[in-house]
Chains A and B, each alone.
Chain A
Amino acid sequence: MSDKNNKIPFNEDNYTHNIERNNERKLDRRGFMKTLVGAAGVFAVSSLPWGAVAAKELMGLGEKEYPHKKITEVSKLPIGDAVEFKFPGDHDDAILIRLSENKYVAYQNACTHLRCPVFWVKEQSEMICPCHHGKFDVETGSPTAGPPRRPLPEIQVKVENGAIFAVRVKRYEA
């Protein structure tokens, strides 16, 4: 280039002739840009597991059928009461509520806001998350107040021989 005068001695990345202070080149524009590129790399790598589990869900495992699990006996659960259980895994808290003689609802009760356990308040007929006062509709599991935006995942139940079984986790329709 003709507009470059010969004050630039040679073209190299690591020139040192104009350093005035210690560590002057530690976080200059170039170093900052390298940090930004590295951060983009971290984002790329960290989105891999999400893609992996999503792909796994898409491939056939969509409608999962878990072994039916006995929750409790019908006789031990009066109308309006709730019982907590684990379904489908040992660490997936869930709650079963008996609304009337033959109507049961069950949800995974980790609040869809920050996963605090949602509990059933019989007197108010509401499901309440104690952490930030999120409330859920007991009939549908959809959030009615507070920070949560997604409904609680519903669990299908069936009654057989006087016992209540958890069958499967319903999928969101939305």
Chain B
Amino acid sequence: MKRSYLGVIILAAILMMNIVFTQYMVHQYYYENYVNVLIFGGLNIVLFPLAVFAYKKTINMRA
């Protein structure tokens, strides 16, 4: 069966962004830039529905 790995790649990229945002968020918290904490926390949360969306979009794709 031929399959597309596009979804896997997209999800891996999303996870990478998650890691980067989380790291940034924690560091900004200790630097006391609380607005930045909220921005990156929000981005982290937005990434989850995005990941679900990417999963659903690519799950039945055939290359």
Contacts and interface: CB of A to CB of B under 8 A. Distances in A.
B18 A40 contact: yes
A32 B38 CA distance: 30
A58 B34 contact: yes
A47 B34 contact: no
A112 interface: yes
Contacts, number: 91
Interface stretch (A48-56, A71-79, A84-92, A137-145): A48-56
A10 interface: no
Contacts of B19: 43
A40 B41 contact: no
Interface of A is mostly: helix
Contact of B51 (A18, A40, A112, A172): A40
Given A29-B3, A46-B22, A50-B37, A172 B31 contact: yes
A159 interface: no
Given A29-B3, A44-B48, A50-B29, A39 B34 contact: no
Contact of A40 (B5, B47, B59): B47
A54 B37 contact: yes
Q: Is the interface of B mostly helix, strand, loop or mixed?
A: helix
B41 A58 contact: no
B45 A54 contact: no
B14 A58 contact: no
Contacts of A171: 32
Nearest to B51: A40
B18 to A, nearest CB: 4
Interface string B1-43: 1010101100110110011011001100111101101101110
Contacts of A46: 22
B8 A29 contact: yes
Contacts of B8: 29, 32-33, 36
Interface string A3-40: 00000000000000010000000000110111011011
